[in-house]
């Protein structure tokens, strides 16, 4: 990869991905309109950090307004991460979620007129409520707007891949944790309570099927950007059971009361992503949580100084 485009470049995953790409000397066009007012200050700090690199080019526009003709070449890889995080769990705002998550994807597809590659970050939430083993062959049955619109985006991309020279790699992500995790997510809130000696909030993430450290997720996306096995769907997962709940137990020091019983365990198979992409989880939960806690501790200290 010589040049990549990253949509949602200033989000949690997007920022880490851009940072890794720039460290490897790859030219990055980062697209992010910073529509989320609650996260705008954080996004500006991230832009200040990666914007100093001459290989980074920032485009502050909604995807639907971007003219891709000047930045896309035949070997450009597009990492399409942008998605709504404000409206994606509210049925009453479904129209807005469709606009951000589906129409933007359609515009991106139409912009790539020649050969290209899109790595699309989807979600394990497309499977809906499940028990037992989940593989890429498990039928989709989303129960929230986020899963529904991600499934629609997958469908658009796979249809286009059959009509053109567009290579598509769909990566279904579990919950992601690590430094700079979104403030509305469970591990961030639990670790904040721990560091401030406050009661732990009663909170779970939208998906508790599995969890992966941000560094491993970025590595999985990079493998997807280079693989020869295209027009495929991959579950990116730890391949272990109860990881989200084990992480919560590590943070709080007590067994998660919201875990029910082992007959309802969910196991997201990572056999395909391991055998075809060569993905290997490298960060164990204890190490990842420690790194997130250390990062958060520094941020809290800095906030107090200011």
- Residue 228 is part of which domain span? 3-305
> Each residue of 68-103: pLDDT tens digit?
888 888 888 999 998 866 545 556 666 777 766 788
> Each residue of 136-155: pLDDT tens digit?
999 999 988 888 889 999 99
CATH number, domain at 19? 3.40.50.720
The confidence score (pLDDT) of residue 146 equals: 87
How long, in residues, is the chain?
306
Q: How many CB atoms lie within 10 A of CB 44?
A: 13
Tally of domains in the chain: 1
> Each residue of 183-201: pLDDT tens digit?
999 999 999 999 999 999 9
Angle at 56 between CA 107 and CA 20, to 5 degrees: 95
- State mean pLDDT over 2-28: 96
**Could you give the 3-state DSSP secondary structure of residue 71?**
coil
The confidence score (pLDDT) of residue 112 equals: 82
pTM for this model (two decimals): 0.93
The confidence score (pLDDT) of residue 262 equals: 61
The confidence score (pLDDT) of residue 73 equals: 82
The confidence score (pLDDT) of residue 27 equals: 96
Q: Which two tokens stand for residue 132?
A: 């037992």
C-alpha dihedral sign at 176, 93, 82, 19: negative
């Amino acid at each position: 990869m010589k040049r990549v485009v990253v949509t949602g470049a200033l989000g949690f995953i997007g920022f880490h991905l851009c940072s890794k790409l720039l460290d490897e000397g790859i030219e990055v066009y980062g697209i992010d309109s910073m529509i989320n007012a609650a996260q705008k200050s954080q996004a500006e700090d991230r832009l200040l950090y990666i914007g100093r690199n001459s290989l980074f080019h920032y485009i502050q526009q909604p995807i639907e307004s971007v003219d891709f003709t000047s930045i896309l070449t035949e070997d450009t890889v597009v990492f399409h991460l942008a998605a709504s995080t404000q409206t994606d769990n509210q049925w009453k705002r479904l129209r807005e979620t469709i606009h951000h998550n589906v129409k933007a994807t359609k515009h991106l597809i139409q912009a790539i007129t020649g050969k290209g590659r899109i790595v699309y970050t989807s979600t394990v939430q497309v499977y809906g409520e499940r028990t037992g083993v989940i593989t890429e062959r498990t039928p989709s049955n989303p129960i929230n707007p986020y899963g529904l619109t991600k499934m629609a985006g997958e469908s658009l991309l796979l249809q286009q891949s059959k009509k053109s020279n567009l290579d598509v790699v769909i990566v279904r992500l579990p919950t992601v944790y690590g430094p700079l995790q979104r403030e509305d997510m469970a591990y961030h809130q639990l670790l904040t309570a721990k560091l401030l000696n406050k009661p732990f909030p009663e909170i779970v993430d939208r998906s508790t099927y599995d969890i992966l450290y941000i560094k491993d997720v970025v590595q999985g996306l990079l493998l997807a950007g280079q693989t020869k096995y295209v027009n495929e769907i991959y579950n990116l997962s730890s391949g272990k059971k109860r990881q989200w709940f084990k992480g919560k137990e590590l943070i709080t020091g007590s067994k998660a009361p919201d875990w029910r019983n082992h007959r309802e365990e969910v196991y997201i198979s990572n056999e395909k992503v391991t055998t075809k992409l060569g993905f290997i989880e490298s960060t164990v939960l204890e190490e990842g949580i420690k790194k997130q806690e250390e990062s958060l501790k520094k941020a809290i200290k800095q906030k107090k100084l200011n």
